[in-house]
Structure 1
Amino acid sequence: MSLTRPPRPPRARPAAPMATPEDVRAAYRMILGREPESEAVVLRHLATQPTRADLRKRFVKSEEFGRFLKQIEAPRPAAAALPLAPDAVPVELHADGPRMAAMLERVGHHWARLGQEAPHWSVLAEDRFRPERIDQNRKAFYATGAEELELVRRLLARHGIDPASLPRCLDYGCGVGRATLAFAGLFPTVTGCDISQPHLDLAQREAEQQGIGNIRWHASTMLGPMPSGQWDLWFSRNVLQHNPPPVIGHLLRLAFAGLAPGGVAIFQLPTHRMDYAFAIDDHLARGGGQGTEQHMLPQREVFALAAAAGLEVLDVREEAQGGLPGPKLALSNIFVLRRPGLAQAAQAG
């Protein structure tokens, strides 16, 4: 009798994940550095039912990516670097009511769709946060909110501001509550504000599961992008650039107007791109389906809005921003602004 065991059958390998429309859009952004021309182009890429690996290989071997590699491998002239005083880019900043509503509606539709398809991944575009993997990585996802809380702590400490003096915090563009839940451990009252109801629903559910009861939720609309009343800290990061410049300006006006005496606004915003231009009618004529938009607001406009609202500028720091071109071609800033308190205002008067 033979004691040799029969060979085990080979284990079946798990099926390779198939590419999704959002994978195609991500490939355009991360590999080619641009948005797809249209939704029809996205569908053409999916017609052959490629896996994610197939899709990545297709983009990396494309002629367009080849041209990009030749550009970055070739010696770059000094003119390719962003000068200390770059020329202003053409940006239309003001819109009437109907066009403002149209732009806000487009932004809302896009993020509501992402909230249904890939809510956590739309906030942090890492494979581990995709819908099929988020259950085992949800704890890690929400743990990243501590980074935003630490940033706020350090910026306030840098200017000698006690967080206890800022009891009401508003997290604008809160998504699924990544930072909002962390803020709830420091500020007595926190409001999470977002234009996507699916994102807000998940954020509220997570807060309930964690037993956090000091958060209010506000769904942004054209008439009410932010709740009524005042707040002591207004925070927004990696959010504003997904809105056209006139919308960014509109949101900042509302944010600044809602700051209570002594209140602080901490927000991040791209302020220059060498390849950027924006015209409202051209933007609206292109229609939706362009993927996640990336915009900017000139720094001078931020300062003008702050001055008009009577705010003082405490800090402007440059920050690397993944959604923008290389640091030599674009700028992103973190701003720290404050409304003078009653005592300060009396002294100034």
Structure 2
Amino acid sequence: MEHQCTPRQLARIFEHIESMWSDMGQSDPMYSVFSANRFRNANASEENIKEFYESGRLDTDALASELTGHELPASVYTHCVELGCGLGRVTRYLSGFAENVTGYNISEPHLQLASEHIAKMGVQNVALKKISTHSSLIFKPFDLFYSRLVFQHNPPPIIYHILDTVLRSLTPGGMAVFQLPA
């Protein structure tokens, strides 16, 4: 399996992915995260929206369990990076794990909705950032990395590039928890 490509090829792949996710973020944002019919725009009842956003707690409960299962703390981190923050459904709950959280996403429409959600929830320690190009994927040092339901949507060269960048920015003693495609 080819996992490296030229910078030009990487740029073209990033452009395609950004375009695809931005389109989905405008047309059907919740469904783009969870492909269940109840999360389609046409079915966006108050109950379904609440269920969608509250599902982020399940992810962070699993993260806390994973960390404590390795005898690591679940809430004393300085800086948490979430890659693929989507609409902020997990980001909101990650805010309890670290002093500061930075959520990254490739889609501006997703980030706009995440920003609205984070503000509505009164969360103060979250910053959201857009990944514009493969070369803009630069992280300040962090001690907790989280990413779920992201890498499966990317080809191997992008996964390799992202993980290489992530692992270079992870501080000594830091923890990275992420899902890879099978």
**TM-score bucket of the superposed structures, by smaller chain:** over 0.9
1:127 Cα shift?
A: 1.4
Is the 1:219–1:225 Cα contact (8 Å) retained in structure 2?
A: no
Superposition map of 1:287-298 within 5 A = none
Write out the 4+ residue segments of structure 1 that deviate beyond 6 Å after TM superposition.
Answer: none
2 CA distance for matches of 1:138 and 1:164?
27
Counterpart of 2:145?
234
Q: Aligned pair 1:124/2:48, yes or no? A: no
Deviations 1:120-156 (A, max 9, x none): 1110111111112224221111110011101110111
Counterpart of 2:90?
179
1:171 Cα shift?
A: 0.8
Q: Which of 185, 207, 215 is the equivalent residue of 2:118?
A: 207
| Structure showing the higher helix proportion among its residues | 2
Q: Which of 49, 58, 61 is the equivalent residue of 1:138?
A: 49
Counterpart of 1:300?
none
Counterpart of 2:25?
115
Q: Which of 51, 58, 77 is the equivalent residue of 1:147?
A: 58
2 CA distance for matches of 1:135 and 1:230?
40
Is the 1:168–1:233 Cα contact (8 Å) retained in structure 2?
A: yes
Is the 2:105–2:131 Cα contact (8 Å) retained in structure 1?
A: yes
Q: Which of 159, 168, 176 is the equivalent residue of 1:257?
A: 168
Counterpart of 1:225?
137
Task: State the identity as a percent.
Answer: 34
Letter of the aligned partner of 2:52 in structure 1?
F
> What runs of 5+ residues in structure 1 fail to find an aligned partner?
1-90, 271-331, 333-349
Q: Which of 96, 102, 105 is the equivalent residue of 2:6?
A: 96
Deviations 1:133-189 (A, max 9, x none): 224221111110011101110111111111244221111011111111111133221
TM-score (norm 1): 0.50
Q: CA RMSD in A?
A: 1.2
1 CA distance for matches of 2:18 and 2:128?
16
Is the 1:188–1:214 Cα contact (8 Å) retained in structure 2?
A: yes
1:114 Cα shift?
A: 0.1
2 CA distance for matches of 1:211 and 1:132?
27
